[in-house]
A and B are shown apart, each in its own frame.
Chain A
Amino acid sequence: MIQTLINPKQIIAARVAKEMKDGDVVNLGIGLPTMVPNYLPESVNVILQSENGYVGLGPLEGEIDPDLVNAGGQPSGILPGGAFFDSVFSFELIRGGHVDVTVLGGLEVDSKGNLANWMVPGKMVPGMGGAMDLVTGAKKVIVAMEHTAKNGSSKILEECRLPLTGKGVVDLIVTELAVFRVTEEGLVLEELQEGVDLQTVKEKTEAAFRISSAMLIPA
């Protein structure tokens, strides 16, 4: 658990980990979100759901079983107490509100909690896979992403420009600079990451946001 956070992805994953409660059923998107379990304290055990059909996703141990992969198609393991099921049941869990938290990456998020992360028109279109069901059905949707795109432009917008994955679905946005909560009145800045000042966040965030009352009280 005591690890030095050296890059933006680690900072984001470590902060997302603080959102998890012991016993939560969690679905993690491909990429950065899969780093979150590395930062969970020992007192918090979550049950990972893999949308291709099981709960109890764990690290690969021992020999590779070609029939056992995670939702990214990578060889994986299943922990004691896990269970396999078919894809209908897997998405009943997801859509039916039986998954407590999902953590996904994002291309764009906006002040209304809209998320775009499945296609860029004119470029390759990978498809939405299970993402649209996850953002619709999970009890809490956390977007874990770097604050700006490679060209430096803000990924937190007043309104998404890319085709949406879900409308009004995001609860929390965690970047390497800040944490925002999505409310009916728009974004609320909940936290600045360590060593980040408010001015930097204002400059790099296109969307307007309010500052949480908790942040205004000096610690």
Chain B
Amino acid sequence: MKKIISMDEVTSIFKDGMTIMAGGFMGVGTPEDLVTALLEADVKDITLIANDTAFIESGVGPLIVNHRVKKVIASHIGTNPETGRQMIAGEMEVELVPQGTLAERVRAGGAGLGGILTPTGVGTVVEEGKEKLTVDGRVYLLEKPLRAEVALLKAYKADKSGNLVYNRSARNFNPFMALAADLVIVQVEKLVEVGEIDPDDVMTPGILVDKIYVQGGSK
């Protein structure tokens, strides 16, 4: 199966109203070329799942600034003032989720779990509307799984079968988002032949990766 795709092929994937998750922490580990492709697709009413909304001009920030997002599910929006502005103006819905809970909800979505039980948020506004369970005397919130139609990931290196290696702190949400979407597209800086990445060094197995876009690759 040929996994390498062009920028135009990436652009053609997106539809109005899609739920899309994107890796990255304040833009680090976010596939910015794939974000650009999504912008060029000119689709609207996206539900975006990401750790944060990054900055006005980087990470997933431009998706917010260009009004492509109907709802964002994130742990932090403070570095992109446009997110807060649209939220207060009622132009976009924002669901704030504690970072560890967000990570676990995505993991649950990719792991076939019906949710996770976490003590995080008990006694705060985060618990509102959620089921509480007591296990061995401790109170937990039931947090439901998150999945997306498309996951946009960033890795440093892939082989042609999609085995991935991440670099430094750019790993963050990428490895477990690879399990939690119907279609997984990864942007890589470097593409190598199958067999060139030692199986012990693979961080995300290629069976999870549907499409690979190589940075600086064909339009």
**Closest Cβ–Cβ distance, residue B137 to chain A (whole Å):** 15
Q: Is the CB of B28 within 8 A of A132?
A: no
User: Within 8 Å CB of A152, what residues of B?
Assistant: none
- CB-defined contacts of A180 to chain B, threshold 8 Å: none
Select from chain A the residue with minimum beta-carbon distance to B173.
A87
Q: Output the nearest chain A residue to B77 by Cβ-Cβ distance.
A: A127
Residue of B nearest to A168 (CB): B123
Give, as a whole number of angstroms, the nearest-CB distance from A162 to chain B: 11
Inside 8 A of A166's CB, which chain B residues have their CB?
A: 123-124
The interface residues of chain B lying within 8 Å CB-to-CB of A128 are 75-76, 96, 98-99, 126
Is B217 an interface residue when CB atoms closer than 8 A count as contact? Answer: no
Indicate the member of B25, B84, B173, B176 with the most A CB atoms within 10 Å: B25
- A106 to B87 Cα, complex, angstroms: 24
Please indicate the chain B residues that have their CB under 8 angstroms from the CB of A67 in the complex.
28-29, 156, 167-170
Contact A125 B87 (CB under 8 A): yes
CA of A200 to CA of B118, assembled, Å: 41
- Taken together as a complex, chains A and B put the C-alpha atoms of A102 and B84 apart, in Å, by 27
Indicate the member of A50, A52, A90, A165 with the most B CB atoms within 10 Å: A52
Are the C-beta atoms of A52 and B76 separated by less than 8 Å?
no
Most chain A Cβ neighbours within 10 Å, of B28, B120, B176: B120
The residues of B that contact A167 with a CB separation of less than 8 Å are 122-124
Per-residue interface assignment for chain B, residues 127 to 161, with 1 indicating a CB less than 8 Å from any chain A CB and 0 otherwise: 00000000000000000000000000000100000
Determine if A127 and B175 form an interchain contact, defined as CB atoms under 8 angstroms apart: no
| Residues of chain B with a CB closer than 8 A to A126's CB | 76-79, 84
Complex contacts, B28 vs chain A, CB 8 Å: 52, 66-67, 69, 73
B52 — which chain A residues lie within 8 A by C-beta?
127, 129
Say whether A88 contacts B103, CB under 8 Å.
Answer: yes
Most buried by B among A87, A95, A125: A87
Q: Give chain A residues whose Cβ lies under 8 Å from the Cβ of B47.
A: none
Please classify how large the interface on chain B is, using the bins under 10, 10 to 19, 20 to 34, 35 or more: 35 or more
Chain B's interface: helix, strand, loop or mixed, by majority? Answer: mixed
Q: Which of A127-186 contact B (CB under 8 A)?
A: 127-133, 136-137, 163-168
Q: Which residue of B lies closest to A114 (CB)?
A: B123
Q: Which of A111-126 contact B (CB under 8 A)?
A: 114, 124-126
The answer, among A53, A114, A137, A165, for a CB contact under 8 Å with B172, is A53
Pick the residue among B76, B98, B104, B168 that contacts A88 (CB under 8 A).
B104
The 8 Å CB contact of B25, one of A69, A84, A88, is A69
- Which of B51, B100, B122: most chain A Cβ within 10 A? B100
A50 to B99, CA, bound (A): 13
Find out whether the CB atom of A91 lies under 8 angstroms from the CB atom of B99.
Answer: yes
In the complex, whether B26 has a CB less than 8 A from a CB of chain A is: yes
Q: Given that A53-B172, A87-B103 are known contacts, is A165 also in contact with B124, CB under 8 Å in the complex?
A: yes
How close is B159's CB to chain A, nearest CB, in angstroms? 20
Q: Which residue of chain B is the closest to A86 with respect to CB atoms?
A: B175
Please measure, in the bound complex, the distance between the C-alpha atom of A213 and the C-alpha atom of B92, giving whole angstroms: 54
Q: How far is the CB of B168 from chain A (nearest CB, A)?
A: 4
Residues in B11-31 with C-beta less than 8 Å from chain A: 25-29
Cβ of B101 under 8 Å from chain A: yes
Which A residues lie within 8 Å of B87 (CB)?
125
B131 to chain A, nearest CB (A): 18
Given contacts A86-B176, A91-B103, A94-B100, contact A53 B171 (CB under 8 A): yes
Flag if B171 contacts A84 (CB, 8 Å). Answer: yes
Q: Does B74 contact A (CB under 8 A)?
A: yes
Cβ–Cβ contact B84 & A125, under 8 A? yes
Q: Are A95 and B176 in contact (CB under 8 A)?
A: no
Option from B75, B118, B125, B175 in Cβ contact (under 8 Å) with A95? B118
